[in-house]
Amino acid sequence: MAELVYPPVVLAAKTAFRLLDLRLDVRGAEHIPTSGGAVIACNHVSYLDFLFCGLGAQPARRLVRFMAKREIFANRVAGPLMRGMHHISVDRAAGAQSYQAAVDALRAGEVVGVFPEATISRSFTVKDIKSGAVRMAAEAGVPLIPMALWGTQRMWTKGRKRELTKRHVPITILTGEPTRPTVDDDMDILTKDLRSRLTALLDTIQRDYPDQPSGEDDRWWLPAHLGGTAPTPEQAAELDRRKPE
């Protein structure tokens, strides 16, 4: 398919990252295949995660087709960009159609990006995840690749004022080893395994993160188990029930 929109968007994003002097640390890109279909399953802590998940695939020279809610495609500014980059619209009222579009893209050799938590994690830990990423990788016969991001929440996340011009923020992108689900596997077991793998990757990059809060008021971007003031997973779940995205 013609790529008239995606490459300029990637170039613009990389230019913005350089101007902001973001301290990017991209690891594990060797796990992303240079050709053929694959599912990237990524944790979700920020509204900007699709940019950085896509960046994690750039060393393999892959363009990631993200599954994103239909409302983004309806936006008069974002919609044409999303369609031009051949992302996949997700209509929660017609999930089977969106799922099939993703499987078709995978079979055509595309890399499809999925945020299996479905919504941003307010606790900055890995929430319970949906089984779609595992199921589509199994049905299409492609590898399932876990990826974890950290630092993106400091620029724009749920319940916080966006700081898109914030400079010198360390952003870590860690890709883990792929697995090869099959249709004969137990999807529930594989989904639990994916969540465990995402949690292990996220724990690693949180532990190795090169920055610390500048003061008590800046501890909001750390999870509670690391001494931060982000909601605990239980508190975050209650907030999600009261204020769904």
75 falls in which pLDDT band (50, 70, 90)? very high
CB atoms within 10 A of CB 212: 10
Domains of the chain are 30-215 (3.40.1130.10)
User: Cα(162)–Cα(168) distance, rounded to whole angstroms?
Assistant: 15
Q: What is the 3-state secondary structure (H, E, C) of the chain?
A: CCCCCHHHHHHHHHHHHHHCCCEEEEECHHHCCCCCCEEEEECCCCCCHHHHHHHHCHHHCCCEEEEEEHHHHHCCCHHHHHHHCCCEEECHHHHHHHHHHHHHHHHCCCEEEECCCCCCCCCCCCCCCCCHHHHHHHHHCCCEEEEEEECHHHCCCCCCCCCCCCCCCEEEEEECCCECCCCCCCHHHHHHHHHHHHHHHHHHHHHHCCCCCCCHHHHHHCCHHHCCCCCCHHHHHHHHHHCCC
Q: How far is CA 120 from CA 15, 16, 124, 148, in A?
A: 26, 23, 8, 13
Tokens, residue 8: 């300029």
pLDDT of residue 156: 98
Average the pLDDT over 128-140 and give the result.
Answer: 98
CB atoms within 10 A of CB 230: 24
224 falls in which pLDDT band (50, 70, 90)? very high
Q: Strands 144-150, 88-90: parallel, antiparallel or unpaired by DSSP?
A: unpaired
pLDDT of residue 134: 98
pLDDT of residue 62: 98
pLDDT (tens digit per residue) in 160-217: 999 999 999 999 999 999 999 999 999 999 999 999 999 999 999 999 999 999 999 9
Tokens, residue 154: 């400091």
Residue 1 has pLDDT above 80, yes or no: no
Residue 245 has pLDDT above 70, yes or no: no
Stated length of the chain: 245
Residue 93 has pLDDT above 90, yes or no: no
pLDDT (tens digit per residue) in 27-66: 999 999 999 999 999 999 999 999 999 999 999 999 999 9
pLDDT of residue 2: 81
pLDDT of residue 74: 92
Residue 151 has pLDDT above 80, yes or no: yes
Q: Strands 144-150, 170-175: parallel, antiparallel or unpaired by DSSP?
A: antiparallel
Could you tell me which of 51, 213, 244 has the C-alpha nearest to residue 223?
213
User: Cα(151)–Cα(147) distance, rounded to whole angstroms?
Assistant: 14
> What does pLDDT average to over the chain?
96
Share above pLDDT 90 across residues of the chain, in percent, rounded to a whole number? 95
pLDDT of residue 95: 81
User: Cα(194)–Cα(202) distance, rounded to whole angstroms?
Assistant: 12
